[in-house]
Amino acid sequence: MSHDISWAELARQARQAAEQAYAPYSKFPVGVAVLASSGRIYTGCNVENASYGGTTCAERNAIAAAVVAGERQFLALMVYTPQTQLTPPCGICRQVIAEFYAPDSPVRSCNHLEQQQEWRLDELLPSAFTPTYLANSSKI
């Protein structure tokens, strides 16, 4: 199923999600909007914890919400931070995105200045360890 990507709508929803971020330690709120192949948009924000290992990134929260709703494929992802520098997903989020995303799919970042930057997932995580990789790997 083909969908037009409304980056403006994804940016709006990601920004709105960032307003709900719980970031008392880093003071770095992040919001994400992910477009599923069904056409639905799911959002997430970062939720920090005093035990840093318990912190969950916005990307993983948005993808988890989509998975709970039965989604398994995503077409676009927008990260919003109210920082001047545009912020791509962190390493663990790149790996989680790769689980459900085509390598040439777009990942964008935007900020409060309405600037945007785009990457392909295979630029952010080359040679990703994914279900496709596992299916194509030889048995030991």
Catalytic residues: 59
CB atoms within 10 A of CB 67: 14
Cα–Cα distance measured from residue 31 to residue 47, given in angstroms and rounded to the nearest whole number = 10
Cα–Cα nearest to 77, from 105, 57, 114: 105
CB atoms within 10 A of CB 140: 3
